């Protein structure tokens, strides 16, 4: 069994691989298409293991076989069905205990226990099978097991699903998909703005006596530079009410979904 790492180290490794997330519209290599949850997990898992090993870590993998169903806001119909799935694991020391944590940015925002990972996949009877990181692909019985020491197959799989992600964005717009989301508190609207565009939204009927600030937050991850800036203007519509006009500028070439947020001060 590999030497355990601290939870902080596991989180660091999670951030290391998650930083490779694809900007969905362009999805340039060598990014990892975490936002195409439909398929390609074995390529993502092998690439994540490669990155962690290069950083001095000693990951393994966990495979799950069953009738799996996962909710995802990164697929237009909000549901993913799998017969199997795979992700890297790390042994994590917490106090005197060592537990297996799964690194799966397609499903979670930090390392989680195997039980939590299995728990979101909709099949309590699903079977978990651990393996070495070197196993690139396997079936449940183990009668088929393939390695990919040169990462050639890995790159082929990643390319396939980068392309699938680009195609999805071209036909459905970028993830996440609003039909799969509920508007969080303090969010006035969910918007989409095209690459390079400037758009203006207004929201009326606000009590003029309230002190309100407006911000925007991209929902479509694309690491590497600023995506959105914004400007706020105000109209006094009546003695008691006002209208806010929020101009949003997309600084990138790709469409971005975003939240228009407000906070009432005082």
**22-36 residues labelled b (16+ CB within 10 A) or e (exposed):** bbbbbbeeebbbbbb
Is the CB of 13 or the CB of 135 nearer to other proteins?
13
Task: Give the bridge partners for 70, in sequence order.
Answer: 80
For position 237 contacting other proteins by CB under 8 A, the verdict is no
Cis amide linkage into residue 176, ω under 30° from 0: yes
Residue with tokens 């226990």: 113
Decide whether 60 or 259 has the Cβ nearer to other proteins: 259
Q: Which is nearer to other proteins, 178 or 230 (CB)?
A: 230
Nearest to 40 by CA among 91, 76, 75: 75
Sign, CA dihedral 195-200-206-212, equals: positive
In the complex, minimum distance from the CB of residue 63 to other proteins, in angstroms, rounded to a whole number: 24
Q: Which residues contact 164 (CB under 8 A, 6 or more apart)?
A: 33, 36, 38, 39, 40
For the chain, report the end-to-end CA distance as a whole number of angstroms: 55
Quick check: 251 binds other proteins (CB under 8 A)? yes
Neighbour tally for 4: CB within 10 Å: 19
Selected from 46, 86, 227, 254, the binder of other proteins by CB under 8 A is 227
Does 217 interact with other proteins (rule: CB under 8 A)? yes
- Closest by CA position to 137, among listed 51, 49, 34, 53: 49
Closer CB to other proteins, residue 251 or residue 253? 251
Binding of other proteins at residue 105 (CB under 8 A)?
A: yes
By CB under 8 A, name the one of 58, 110, 114, 153 that touches other proteins. 110
By CB under 8 A, name the one of 2, 76, 195, 218 that touches other proteins.
218
Residue number, 84 or 161, with CB nearest to other proteins: 161
Interaction with other proteins in 17-36: which residues (CB under 8 A)? 18-19, 21
Q: Applying CB under 8 A, which residues contact other proteins?
A: 15, 18-19, 21, 105, 109-110, 184-186, 213, 215-230, 251, 256, 261, 263, 265
């Amino acid at each position: 069994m590999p030497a355990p790492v601290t939870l902080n180290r596991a989180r660091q490794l999670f951030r290391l691989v998650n930083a490779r997330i694809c900007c969905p519209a362009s999805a340039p290599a060598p990014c990892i298409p975490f936002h195409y949850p439909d398929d390609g997990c074995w390529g993502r898992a092998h690439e994540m293991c490669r990155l962690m090993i290069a950083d001095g870590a000693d990951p393994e993998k966990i495979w799950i076989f069953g009738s799996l169903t996962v909710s995802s806001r990164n697929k237009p119909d909000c549901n993913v069905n799998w017969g199997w799935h795979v992700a890297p694991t790390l042994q994590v020391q917490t106090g005197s205990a060592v537990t297996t944590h799964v690194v799966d940015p397609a499903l979670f925002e930090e390392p989680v226990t195997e039980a939590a990972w299995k728990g979101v996949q909709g099949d309590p009877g699903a079977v978990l099978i651990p393996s070495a990181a070197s196993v690139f692909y396997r079936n449940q019985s183990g009668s088929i097991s393939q390695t990919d020491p040169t990462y050639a197959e890995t790159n082929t799989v990643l390319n396939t699903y980068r392309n699938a992600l680009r195609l999805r964005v071209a036909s459905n717009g970028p993830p996440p998909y609003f039909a799969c989301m509920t508007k969080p508190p303090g969010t006035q609207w969910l918007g989409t703005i095209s690459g390079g565009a400037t758009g203006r939204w207004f929201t009326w009927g606000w009590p003029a006596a309230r002190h309100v600030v407006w911000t925007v937050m991209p929902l479509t991850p694309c690491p590497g530079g600023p995506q959105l800036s914004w400007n706020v203007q105000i109209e006094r519509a009546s003695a008691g009410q006002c209208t806010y006009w929020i101009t949003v500028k997309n600084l990138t070439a790709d469409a971005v979904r975003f939240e228009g947020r407000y906070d009432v001060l005082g």
